[in-house]
Structures are given as C-alpha cells and as structure tokens.
Amino acid sequence: MSGFLAGLCVAVLPVLAAGVWLGRRTARPKSLGGLGTPVEHATFETLHTASLAAPPLRAGLTEETARKSARKLRSLLGTDALCLTDREQVLVWDGDGDHHRTEIMERLAGALDTGRGEAFRLTCEILDCSVRWAVVAPLTVDERVHGALVACAPRESAVLVRAAGEVARWVSVQLELADLDQSRTRLIEAEIRALRAQISPHFIFNSLAVIASFVRTDPERARELLLEFADFTRYSFRRHGDFTTLADELHAIDHYLALVRARFGDRLSVTLQIAPEVLPAALPFLCLQPLVENAVKHGLEGKAVSSGKCHIQITAQDAGAEALVVIEDDGAGMDPGLLRRILAREVSPSGGIGLSNVDDRLRQVYGDDYGLVIETATGAGMKITVRIPKYQPGVHSAGRLTRE
C-alpha cells in the first residue's frame, strides 16, 4: 500500500507540471469566449490576434521575430500565403507557394526603392499553384524602407490591397517602437558609460592634498597612499566590461577608504561583515563605492571636527539566490522627503553623490524590484540595502578576481 502511495506521489509530479503548463496555455483564449454579438466577437478576435503578433516584432525585424509573427499576421489577413522580407532576402514564408521566394525578391526591388506599395501577377509553371497574385506593402521606419510585407492570393482583390496596406502600417509602427527600444537601450548604455567613470573631482583633489601633506613628514606613508590612489584610479578608469565582482568592488572600496582615513584619521571607523559565498557575484561596476562615499560624507557631516566620530558598517550576506549588501552609517541622516526627490531627480543631487545614479543603474540591469532601499531620518544615520541576484542573464564580470 505504502509503496503504491509513493509511486503515486512521484507519478503526480509530471502530471501536475503538465497541468500547470496546459492551464497557462489555454487560460487566455478562453477569456475571450462568450462576449457580445458575433461582430463584437470578431473584433475581439482580430484585436487579440494582432496583440499576439506584436510582441515578437518589438524586438526588430529578424528571421526569428518574423517567423514568430508571420502566422498571426497571415490569419489576420486571411490569405493563402504571407511573406516578410528585409531589403535583401525573404525572412519567412508562411503558407503555400514557397517556390515563389526568388521571384518575389526580384519583383520587389522597385517597391523597396520607392517605398510605394504595388500589386502584381505571379508567373508560375505549376498548374495547381494556389498563389497567382501578390500585394506588396513596404515596411517603413522613419521614411526608410526596412522591408516588405507580401500577401499572396489566387486572384486580384481590392480588399486585400487595402488590408495588406493597413497591416503593413501596423507592423511598421511596431518596428518603430522596436527602433525606439533600441535607442533607449543605447541611451542607457551610454549613460552607464558616462556614469561609471564619475569619481568625484573633489575626491581626487582632497586625496592629492592629503598625500602632499605627508610627503615631508612621512614619505613612506605618502608613497603607500600614492599607490592606493593609483590602484583606485586604475580600477575606476578601466575600460573593459560594465560589470565587476563583489570582491573587486570591495577592494576598490578598501583603497578608497585608505585615502579617506588618511584625511580623517581616527574620526572614521569601519567594520565589515562579508559572507565569502557572495564574493564572486557579478554586479555593475562602481555601484557600491558611491554608496560608501555617501556614507562617509553623511557620517562626518554636521559633527564637530574635534569630537565627531563616524562609524560605517558594511555587510554582505548570502540570501539564497541573492546577495544582500548593506551599508550603514551613524551620521546626520537625511530627510526622507528630500531623499525621495533626489532619487526622482527632481532636485539636483548636491547631497547624495551618485545615489540616484546607482539606483538607476541597478534598476536598468536587474529590473525595478532591485532598486536601492534606503532607511533614514534626520539625525538617525542612513542604511542602504542593495539586493544583487547571483545570476542574471547578460551580467558577467569581466576579468578575474583579484588574487591574494
């Protein structure tokens, strides 16, 4: 009996999985049923088909996306065959009459140049070929012809010419959106590039001043500090890769803090609690150092030069599929309302160096769930929590961990 139960438990697993999958697949179309009059129903059907064809095209016009959307587009037009081309070749042919590919491409040259739609009769030796006639509707983005949508039918039809034109316009809009997406991505990349080299000029100035002050009194110390400075700037200005490892970032923070400590002496103390499991995690380049810089600034702010001491705690924990990094200071804190406005970029970030910048980059790389979480109040210090997924597609640290 018990053995049977065990078998049942195991056998139920795949069935459950299949059930969930089927349920997800079938859930959406069903919700369309039983809506209003047949006309309304047909409208909904059409809109639904159109909405299904849209997502692949949002990634631009490639063989893969064309293949995914062609069938939906053909059912939208109700033709025997539909083909999508770019400027050089047929990307996909959905339906009958596959042998017309080359002929279509030859006849298409004019339409692709002028950007005007046309219709023509196809020549065919095969007697029972169902495709005798083709409508060409160019796909244009920003006045430039990217490709064409070709609908084929057994005989001429004015309705089809109109419909193909409309569908082509709709596809063009999707492609324009894809173009927009692409330029947005490029913008983000450019922004990341612009942001990442942004170490504060004040910091360079202050560091050099501190080193200068040691040159005569303690040349050995000055030499060490210069080396720290060299290491830190080398890390900050390195050219390759947008991502680094938590270990490398921590080393950069170490160099940074050595320079800051030289300036503030005993007033600054730092404790670390790092789970070694998360050190290899990949994260955007220079996204923790600005937070530490911020903590130093806030920690020492508003305290009398002689008595004020600042304590900074940096924690990295292992939390399942994520690493949890917390940077905490016991300094002046900040008004939450002001901080919210800084993060929303309503106020120029004179106070929080790069906080909004780090927040933006984290959101761009990992999604909106992974923005900075900041707990603060005036006079109560500040605690910044960063969640870093251990694996994210496309995030690979460049180079190797610093060797010990």
Partner 1 sequence: MNSSYAVPAVALVVVATVLVGAFGLRISRTTSDFYVASRTVGPRLNAAAISGEYLSAASFLGIAGLGLVQGPDMLWYPVGYTAGYLVLLLFVAAPLRRSGAYTLPDFAEARLDSQAVRRLAGAFVVGVGWLYLLPQLQGAGLTLTVLTGAPDWLGGVIVAVVVTATVAAGGMRSITFVQAFQYWLKLTALLVPALFLVLAWQSDGAPRHAFDEPASFREQRVVRVGDSIDLKLDRPLTVTVSGTVDGRTHAGTRLELPAGTHHVERGTRLTFAAGATVPKAERSGGGDLSPTQAESREERPLYATYGLILATFLGTMGLPHVVVRFYTSPHGVAARRTTVAVLGLVGAFYLLPPVYGALGRLYAPELTLTGDTDAAVLLLPDRLIGGVGGDLLGALVAGGAFAAFLSTASGLTMAVAGVLTQDVLPSRGVRHFRLGTVFAMAMPLAASVLVGGLPVADAVGLAFAVSASSFCPLLVLGIWWRRLTPPGAAAGMLVGGGSALLAVAATMAGYPGEGAALHALLAWPALWSVPLGFLTMVLVSLATPGRVPPDTAAVLARFHLPEELRTEVTA
Q: Give dist(CA 151, CA 75) in Å, integer.
A: 11
Residue selected from 251, 303, 341, 363 as contacting partner 1 according to rule CB under 8 A: 251
* Residue with smaller CB distance to partner 1, 265 or 320: 320
* Residue with smaller CB distance to partner 1, 203 or 243: 243
Contact by Cβ (8 Å): 314, 270: yes
Q: How far is the CB of 403 from partner 1 (least distance, A)?
A: 9
Residue where the block lists tokens 């001491």: 309
Q: Residue 14 has which token pair?
A: 């795949």
The residues, ordered by sequence, that sit 6+ positions from 35 with a Cβ below 8 Å of its Cβ are 41, 44
Q: How many residues make contact with partner 1 (CB under 8 A)?
A: 53
- Options 6-14, 101-109, 147-155, 193-201: segment touching partner 1 (CB under 8 A): 6-14
Residue selected from 137, 164, 225, 282 as contacting partner 1 according to rule CB under 8 A: 282
Q: Does 321 bind partner 1 (CB under 8 A)?
A: yes
Residue selected from 254, 264, 338, 375 as contacting partner 1 according to rule CB under 8 A: 254
* Residue with smaller CB distance to partner 1, 128 or 404: 404
The residues, ordered by sequence, that sit 6+ positions from 385 with a Cβ below 8 Å of its Cβ are 324, 325, 326, 372, 373, 374, 375
Q: Does 404 bind partner 1 (CB under 8 A)?
A: yes
Residue selected from 104, 108, 247, 283 as contacting partner 1 according to rule CB under 8 A: 247
Q: How far is the CB of 120 from partner 1 (least distance, A)?
A: 30
Q: How far is the CB of 63 from partner 1 (least distance, A)?
A: 8
Residue selected from 54, 125, 239, 358 as contacting partner 1 according to rule CB under 8 A: 239
* Residue with smaller CB distance to partner 1, 108 or 281: 281
94 burial (CB, 10 Å; 0-12 / 13-18 / 19+) is buried
Q: Does 395 bind partner 1 (CB under 8 A)?
A: yes
The residues, ordered by sequence, that sit 6+ positions from 315 with a Cβ below 8 Å of its Cβ are 272, 273, 274, 324, 325, 326, 327, 328
Q: Give dist(CA 160, CA 162) in Å, integer.
A: 5
Radius of gyration of the chain (CA): 31
Q: Does 271 bind partner 1 (CB under 8 A)?
A: yes
Longest dimension (CA), the chain: 99
Q: Does 273 bind partner 1 (CB under 8 A)?
A: yes
Q: Does 10 bind partner 1 (CB under 8 A)?
A: yes
Of 395, 398, 343, the residue nearest 366 (C-alpha)? 395
Residue selected from 151, 250, 260, 343 as contacting partner 1 according to rule CB under 8 A: 250
Q: How far is the CB of 392 from partner 1 (least distance, A)?
A: 9
* Residue with smaller CB distance to partner 1, 205 or 391: 391
* Residue with smaller CB distance to partner 1, 176 or 231: 231
Residues present in the chain in total: 404
Residue selected from 122, 204, 347, 401 as contacting partner 1 according to rule CB under 8 A: 401
The residues, ordered by sequence, that sit 6+ positions from 104 with a Cβ below 8 Å of its Cβ are 83, 85, 90, 122, 134, 150
Of 319, 334, 257, 265, the residue nearest 292 (C-alpha)? 257
Residues that bind partner 1 (CB under 8 A): 1-11, 13-14, 17, 239-241, 245, 247, 250-251, 253-254, 257, 269-277, 279-280, 282, 317-321, 369, 390-391, 393, 395-401, 404
